Amino acid sequence: MINKLVESVDSDVYVYQTQLNFGLDFAHKILNEVTDNISQFPKRHNYETLGDPRKLLKQIGKDRTRELYRRYEQFLSLWPGQERIAFDQLFLTESLKQEFLTIIPSWLHDFAGGPDFMLQVGHSGNILYPHCGHRRTCSLFLLLQADDQETRWYRNTKDFEVIDPLRIPDMDGIEHVVSAVMQPGTWYVFNHKEWHSVHKYSSEKKRINIGIDFNDVPASELVKLIKSHGY
């Protein structure tokens, strides 16, 4: 279910529920592989956390480090008592990657240089604070296992600096505009470039998803391509 909190917003810009139905048996196979032997999947490192402030000071300076911590304090104030979700980002094994490439529609192969794949497994925690993607701009997103978590998207209401490598927003400068409770077995276009967060996470059941990632291409272009093929 996708809900707009601002009527004038085009929710497709943030998340689009497609009618694509390829690869669902393959997705079930991956879920079984993750459950049986997650260690076979090489780890990716596509994101960073606040970590050691001394490292940040050296990397981005005192003022930007202080600003990032101020923004992080906003999270703690808005969502008190909640623990950040811990998750792994993983590569597919080479054999699974090659199998997946034979399954996805041919018209996706040439889009923006061809697809990349990411497997993501949540382990514990309650919330993934607002953030935006580093490299990938959008993906075709498929939940393999979930428990009705809510994903929220935000838009800017004022300009502020996006500080790498953490990309934490100033909560005084964004507003929540779209929410989605995505369902397993359904392909969605997921806009990673816009601010987004995940809520209502249950650590009793791991949230596992696979993404067909695209870099440097607006989500609107992927949505347009999918709609042009009737999905």
Q: Domains of the chain, with CATH numbers?
A: 2-47+83-228 (2.60.120)
Q: Which of 21-30, 127-136, 169-178 has the lowest mean pLDDT?
A: 127-136
Q: Has residue 203 got a pLDDT over 80?
A: no
CA dihedral of residues 178, 85, 218, 98 (deg, nearest 10):
-130
Q: For residue range 30-85, list pLDDT tens digits in order.
A: 999 999 999 999 998 765 666 677 888 888 999 999 999 999 999 999 999 999 88
- Mean pLDDT of the 124-129 span: 89
State residue 115's pLDDT score: 75
**Model confidence at 201, in pLDDT bands (50, 70, 90)?**
low
| Burial state string for 41-78 with b = 16 or more CB within 10 A and e = fewer than 16 | beeeeeeeeeeeeeebeeebeeebbebbeebeebbeee
State residue 216's pLDDT score: 80
Average pLDDT taken over every residue of the chain: 92
Task: Say which residues have a Cβ less than 8 Å from residue 19's Cβ, sequence separation at least 6.
Answer: 230, 231
**Model confidence at 111, in pLDDT bands (50, 70, 90)?**
confident
State residue 217's pLDDT score: 87
Q: Which of 159-168, 199-208, 220-229 has the lowest mean pLDDT?
A: 199-208
